[in-house]
A and B are shown apart, each in its own frame.
Chain A
């Protein structure tokens, strides 16, 4: 078991107009990338609210990629600039939360860049694999033996209320 390779789960948000088509292109061109990535298509990388990324981590993702059109080439003119600023803000916050930088990645990929996207995916999977499992929910799951302590409290209350003879 100990020798088994860690297989990270990575969630990717890809924009409809460039990056998702890059992923499609990678598929039709039979460019291989590792299967650790789960892709979600959004209309624009500007649609990706930081809460999507946070939620992915809270549900157990090991890494999150956001991919969109290159700056200046957004289908919706300038929304990916908002993605850029939002990503910087998100990364700043995640760092303060104690999360490694490499667990999030912003990747620009045009519809013609299937090779580039596949390469970025593989690179990110390797980086996250090296970091190991994130298992974020574990951070709040261990508060001690709550039920035991609570059962004991009832007894303590009873004891405290006993009138000394």
Chain B
């Protein structure tokens, strides 16, 4: 019997979509099981952290880690999986760039707790109780991990060998990555396993000169079925987004929101979007430019950093303790 590889999959701050995407490779999961012993996959298999702690360092050949890091427990697991794994892959957008959990960086821990434990209409909490990291009960002490002010990506927490983009990664791309790993045809460590072009290159729409006087929201127009969505005024992020999805959204008339992350060579997704959109606006008058931008893009963080706020240059909004006033936070939240 040939030696099987050892595989682990873990999830941190994520929605579970990445786990489903792994199962989206369908019957090929049997090929994965044939090639690897799966030692740890909390979503699917029973397993104990204690067992992983007791394994030798680097005894896991491959670890797919999805999810961002927002609690001390997730940070512990990230460090543990790094220590035990030969190859650690940041799997999906949350691990790569923070994704939707990373949008918590557009507010504060205090505001999140206030909403979750006090303000939502469905919350009944007359005593104003909030979860504590340590609670004494008759049976002993109960512990909870502590919650971070700032969501981090996996790469900001531990060394990552490869990144697999997407929210979630398309099953075909997951399979491509597994094959690349099995055949040892991996790119240089630290790189993204994926295409090196943009969604526009996969988009079937016809492209011409882009000049727009007004940005439109998706509910405002029924887009023409053949012409580039950006030319029709919709903020389509395909121009900055890595290919790999097959341009699913623009093909059916919905603008790309950037879930496949920044294209090769782009560090800050939002900056690239700003650069590109600035070239498209058809005005040389400062006041008109301001009006087009302010009216057309009321929520710049949500538009430019929907998936990449935690990974962006600025990572988060200013904290009140560090110059960002509460008034400003409200503006940012209501924007």
Contacts and interface: CB of A to CB of B under 8 A. Distances in A.
Contact of B271 (A54, A150, A161): A54
Contact of B317 (A57, A84, A96, A152): A96
Interface stretch (B36-44, B87-95, B318-326): B318-326
Contacts of A139: 150, 314-319, 322, 324
A97 B314 contact: yes
B284 A149 contact: no
Contacts of A163: none
Interface in A77-92: 78, 81-82, 84-86, 88-90, 92
A57 B314 contact: yes
A149 B332 contact: no
Interface stretch (A26-34, A112-120, A140-148): A140-148
Contacts of A49: 271-272, 275
Given A96-B300, A149-B72, A154-B53, A81 B284 contact: yes
The winner among A85, A100, A146, A149 for most chain B CB atoms within 10 A is A85
Interface of B: 48-50, 53, 72-73, 75-76, 79, 105-106, 133, 143, 145-146, 148-150, 152, 267-268, 270-272, 274-275, 277-279, 281, 283-284, 286, 289-290, 293-294, 297, 299-301, 304, 312-319, 322-325, 328-329, 331-332, 335
A150 B53 CA distance: 13
A147 to B, nearest CB: 9
B50 A89 contact: no
Contacts of B145: 149, 153
Nearest to B297: A92
Contact of B278 (A89, A144, A150): A89
25 contacts: A50-B275, A51-B267, A54-B314, A58-B314, A71-B284, A88-B286, A89-B277, A89-B278, A89-B297, A93-B300, A96-B317, A98-B317, A98-B318, A98-B329, A132-B323, A139-B150, A139-B317, A139-B322, A140-B152, A140-B316, A144-B149, A149-B145, A152-B143, A153-B76, A154-B76
Contact of B322 (A50, A93, A138): A138
B276 to A, nearest CB: 10
Interface string A44-85: 000001110011011000000000000100000010011011
Query: Which of B50, B53, B313, B335 counts the most A-chain CB atoms under 10 A from its CB?
Result: B313
A86 B261 CA distance: 21
A90 B314 CA distance: 12
A84 B294 CA distance: 14
B76 A85 contact: no
A157 B49 contact: yes
Contact of A88 (B149, B293, B325): B293
Interface string A123-163: 00000000110111011101110100110111011100100
